[in-house]
Amino acid sequence: MKLKPPTADQPAQLRRRAEDRLRERPRHQRSTAVVPTSDADAKRLLHELQVHQIELEMQNAELRQARDELEVALDNYTDLYDFAPSGYFTLSATGAILQANLTGATLVGIERSRLVGQSFGRLISAKFRPAFSAFLEHVFAGQNKQAGDFELACQGQPLRFVNIEAQCLLNGQECRVAVMDITARKVAEAARSRLEAVTASNRKLEQEIIRRKKLEQALKTSEQQLRQLSHEILLAQEAERKRISRELHDTVLQTLVGISVHLTSLTPKPADNPASLRRKIKETQRLVEKSLAMVHRFAVELRPTVLDDLGLIPALHTCLKDFMKRTGVRARLIAYAAVNQLPIGQSAVLYRVALEALNNVAIHAQASAVAVEIKKLPGWICLTITDDGKSFDVKRVLRTKGNGRLGLLGMRERLQMVGGKFSVKSTPGHGTAVTAQIPATIEAAKKDGKRSSATNA
């Protein structure tokens, strides 16, 4: 509140007001205490004394009014200061409490009379005291307002979180400090943080449940596919046994029976002549060579010895020559010589994939040319079999039961056994490309060797 100063009027105005008030007084109330030396002096002196008396009375009245107003303002300020929602403190440069309001004393749980002279830093919990000391230094280092959150640890009081705002006074020796209890806000923030952590944990748990359900479903699907694949493998094995049995019965067995008949006819007879005997022997030899070729073909289909003895490239050369002889389809092989030094397990996998792909070309593609290429990629050895025949829907074949699906799954399973990758791309008008990749696990496969190629028409 702004108070009226006791000397607000100018001296001339005050005197004029006093003279006006003197004229208004009755004559018998005017002072006659001074004895003049002459009538004029007496009148003048009396007038002056009366004017001064009135001035003093007016100033005294204004001073009493100003005092009353100051007392009211002081009472209002004291009420506002003591019962403010925040705690107010006055601190010295050393952190000693010089003054505190009732709210501040209640906040720290200490009577106000006992607070004065104590160090405010002792009211701060031990882990926050270094930060508060630095905070106080910043306050006295400049005139800007500083703010920070701290923890109070007063004896007999629960821990409280407070926000402290402080500003240095103009004298540079004291600072005003406002302390606001933010414990409820901190508790709410901690609860919100815990809630967010629980929510995030629940979200992760839900994602993990979904992932595990997907894995469980994939496992069930995989088990069903495995059972189906096992069933198809058994059927394929039975069909292969049946084919081999029929081949043995229809070719090798019939040839052996013919050899036996020819050997029986070689029994010397009186009517035989040397030319007829030589012809029968020659025919018997032809049947024996035919039997040997059949047995060799069966052995090559089961496991070519050239793969174990000479390596992958000679085995593929032999396979392609037989393929061209059986189908009339032109075939070409391009390979790196270092591939011949692959471990026998990986060589066998690549050979089986190439053999199965060539069988599919012979049965389904109606192609005029096929190319087998083995090339080196960073960290991988890549086998590609391409043809210019008919294309097919890869996804549909994989969904359909049959030998075609079984052949593709078999190639993929063989490659997965050695850590490889398998893909099939079939485009109308561009034929089919089967790609098999295996890790390059030997030093020789990482070097660029000479290219070994064979082109046949």
Inform me whether the pLDDT recorded for 387 exceeds 90. Answer: yes
Three-state DSSP state, 330? strand
Find the mean pLDDT for residues 409-414: 82
Are 66 and 3 within 8 A, CB to CB?
yes
In 351-364, which positions are buried (b, 16+ CB within 10 angstroms) versus exposed (e)? bbbbbbbbebbbeb
For the record, the structure tokens of 188 come out as: 């709410």
Find the mean pLDDT for residues 157-180: 89
- Whole-angstrom distance, CA of residue 414 vs CA of residue 349: 6
Nearest to 167 by CA among 107, 91, 84, 83: 91
Summarize pLDDT for 423-442 with one digit per residue, the tens: 999 888 888 999 999 998 64
Inform me whether the pLDDT recorded for 1 exceeds 60. Answer: no
365 pLDDT tier (thresholds 50, 70, 90) = confident
For the record, the structure tokens of 376 come out as: 């080196």
Q: 189 versus 25: which is more confidently predicted?
A: 189
Find the mean pLDDT for residues 125-145: 91
Give 424-430 contacts, CB < 8 A, sequence gap 24+.
424/394, 425/394, 426/391, 426/392, 426/393, 426/394, 427/391, 428/391, 429/391, 430/388, 430/391
- Distance (Å) of CA 370 to CA 224, 348, 376, 431: 35, 21, 20, 10
Q: Positive or negative, the Cα torsion across 103, 108, 114, 120?
A: negative
- Whole-angstrom distance, CA of residue 314 vs CA of residue 320: 10
pLDDT number for residue 71: 81
Summarize pLDDT for 44-92 with one digit per residue, the tens: 878 788 888 888 888 888 888 888 888 877 777 676 777 788 899 999 9
pLDDT number for residue 245: 67
- Whole-angstrom distance, CA of residue 338 vs CA of residue 333: 15
Summarize pLDDT for 207-266 with one digit per residue, the tens: 999 999 999 999 988 888 877 777 777 676 667 667 776 776 666 667 777 777 667 766
- Whole-angstrom distance, CA of residue 253 vs CA of residue 294: 11
Query: Could you tell me which residues are beta bridge partners of residue 146?
Result: 166
For the record, the structure tokens of 227 come out as: 């059972």
Are 95 and 119 within 8 A, CB to CB?
yes
pLDDT number for residue 174: 92
> Could you state, in order of their start, the residue ranges of all structural domains in the chain?
11-82, 87-181, 205-302, 311-455
Q: Positive or negative, the Cα torsion across 362, 363, 366, 371?
A: negative
* Count helices and strands in the chain by DSSP H and E runs: 13, 11
Three-state DSSP state, 118? coil
Architecture of domain 87-181: 2-Layer Sandwich (3.30)
- What kind and span of H or E run contains 443? none
The number of angstroms, rounded, from the C-alpha of 356 to the middle of its chain's C-alpha atoms is 43
Q: How many CB atoms lie within 10 A of CB 260?
A: 12
The percentage of residues in the chain with a pLDDT greater than 90, rounded to a whole number, is 29
- Arithmetic mean of pLDDT over the chain: 80
Q: Positive or negative, the Cα torsion across 327, 328, 334, 337?
A: positive
Burial class of 433 by CB neighbour count within 10 A (0 to 12, 13 to 18, 19+): middle
pLDDT number for residue 255: 72
135 pLDDT tier (thresholds 50, 70, 90) = very high
Q: Cα Rg for the chain, rounded, in angstroms?
A: 57
Cβ within 8 Å of residue 177, ≥6 positions away: 88, 89, 90, 91, 120, 164, 165, 166
- What kind and span of H or E run contains 341? none
CATH of 311-455, one of 3.30.565.10, 3.50.50.60, 3.30.70.260, 1.10.300.10: 3.30.565.10
Summarize pLDDT for 393-410 with one digit per residue, the tens: 877 776 665 555 557 877
Edge-to-edge, what's the strand order for the sheet holding 97-100?
97-100, 87-92, 174-181, 160-168, 146-152
448 pLDDT tier (thresholds 50, 70, 90) = very low
Report the half-sphere exposure of 219 (CA within 13 A, side-chain side): 6
Edge-to-edge, what's the strand order for the sheet holding 421-427?
421-427, 431-439, 380-387, 369-377, 330-336, 451-455
CA angle 366, 389, 340 (to 5 degrees): 100
Inform me whether the pLDDT recorded for 29 exceeds 60. Answer: no
pLDDT number for residue 200: 93
- Whole-angstrom distance, CA of residue 55 vs CA of residue 14: 7
Q: Assign residue 372 a region: left if phi > 0, alpha if psi is -120 to 50, beta otherwise? A: beta
